[in-house]
Structure 1
Amino acid sequence: MRRATFRDQTVDYAAVGASQAADLLQYPPERSMPAVGSWRIGSGEERFRKAAEDLLSWRVITGAGLEVTDVRPSSDPGYTGVSFDVDGTPVVPAQREPDQRFTPDGIAYVSAGATAHVHGRARGRRADGDYRVIFVAEEERRVAFALGTVAATIVSGEVLFSVEWRDDDEVWFEVRAFDIPVQWSYRLFRGLVKRRRRLLNSAYLRAVSPLFA
């Protein structure tokens, strides 16, 4: 059962922002299972802008078959999130502070510190939990955000979505995550955690790649 006051709670894991670490696969947070996947999804500015819009409007998640509800911006307008440089040193994330935007369904766009409930099934894998947006980065050629779990019931941890328009004009989509098993079956059979992550990432890719449109 979700806690009615979840938006006032902190995330339920210690390594906040670790999904951004360059050495995530080699040195994942304690008890977690890391995963990093990246895919070329096209080229050019138009493709980049469309994919960035898919990220910030939650389309990367809803297009995967999951439902995003109860989205609420941070109660602290000064919250900027957590980010790291290539050496793992915390820095202030690069971002803009645009006016609050909404999807055609009236859902607030992704913003640092916002909270949301995600539930449903993506490629057969169940998701049901409360999340907080750890950070949002809107740069000239890269857009990204990370979600962290609040009172998780299946797996605890963090997932980062990013789209980058590289100097060679190619556009790449990347998912970086670390999962800590919470549900008893995932704690007992850790291979299920890896399979769940692979299927979820595949669903996210289908949501942003024109190959599956």
Structure 2
Amino acid sequence: MGVRLLPPGQVARLRAQQLTYAEVGASEHDPPRGYRVLHRTRTLPRNADFAAAAHDLAHWQVQRRAGLRVAASDPEARPGAVVVLGLLGVKAPCRVISVIDEPDRRGFVYGTLPGHPECGEEAFLLERGADGRVRFTIRAFSRPAGLPARLAGPLGHWAQDVIIRRYLTALG
């Protein structure tokens, strides 16, 4: 199961929608109050290839390897790209709001669009340290976007935690 490209009409509709939260970009700094905050880091194995991991991250492989269906406007995460992630009949549309492209830091941030069960954003960041080790960090803040997600309560948190753990093991 690879990454499917979204039809142009759906891409246009998703790009025209507003993000479902006001604190755009906050996952790269201090998370806002009133949200569930996650910050997880994994150091990849010593033989991890930074360039290969960055390529896979940018091409939606983290989400795909975590078991999600991935349909995107672009084969690569770039500012303005939209993606619809799917699992067990639940669809989660997002838009990339920023990309990090530095010699030793690569990644992107996406935010939720209407129809996503949560509202908030996730940042995916690879960093190569001075020691050559590659660290993969995910920072997220979210809260339920509607009644079904609020009713899920702890089950929703558990599902989010499982997906984050799967993301972290998708590289390296």
Give the TM-score taking structure 2 as reference length: 0.84
* Aligned match for 1:37, one of 37, 40, 44: 40
Confirm or deny that 1:144 pairs with 2:107.
yes
State the shift of 1:177 in Å: 0.3
* Aligned match for 2:24, one of 7, 16, 24: 16
2:109 counterpart SS class: strand
Confirm or deny that 1:118 pairs with 2:118.
no
CA contact (8 A) 1:165 1:171 kept: yes
State the shift of 1:189 in Å: 5.3
Alignment deviations for residues 165-209 of structure 1 (CA, whole Å, 9 cap, x no partner)? 001111100100011112424324543343222101111122113
Q: Please, which runs of 5 or more residues in structure 1 have no aligned partner?
A: 73-107
Distance 1:171 1:140 in 2: 12
Distance 2:90 2:130 in 1: 36
1:167 counterpart SS class: coil
Distance 1:16 1:190 in 2: 24
Q: After TM superposition, what 4+ stretches of structure 1 lie above 4 angstroms from structure 2?
A: none
State the shift of 1:118 in Å: 1.3
Alignment of 1:1-213 (within 5 A): 4=10, 5-21=13-29, 23-24=30-31, 29-43=32-46, 47-72=49-74, 108-121=75-88, 127-188=90-151, 190-209=153-172
CA contact (8 A) 1:12 1:152 kept: no
| Paired residue type of 2:20 | D
- Alpha-carbon distance change, 70 to 55 in structure 1, aligned in 2, over 3 angstroms: closer
Give the TM-score taking structure 1 as reference length: 0.69
1:147 counterpart SS class: strand
- Alpha-carbon distance change, 142 to 43 in structure 1, aligned in 2, over 3 angstroms: farther
Aligned residues: 162
State the shift of 1:152 in Å: 3.3
- Alpha-carbon distance change, 109 to 189 in structure 1, aligned in 2, over 3 angstroms: closer
Query: Which moved further from structure 2: 11-20 or 198-207?
Result: 198-207
- Alpha-carbon distance change, 30 to 190 in structure 1, aligned in 2, over 3 angstroms: farther
CA contact (8 A) 2:84 2:94 kept: yes
Distance 2:90 2:129 in 1: 32
Q: Please, which runs of 5 or more residues in structure 2 have no aligned partner?
A: 1-8
Larger radius of gyration: 1
Larger helix fraction of residues = 2
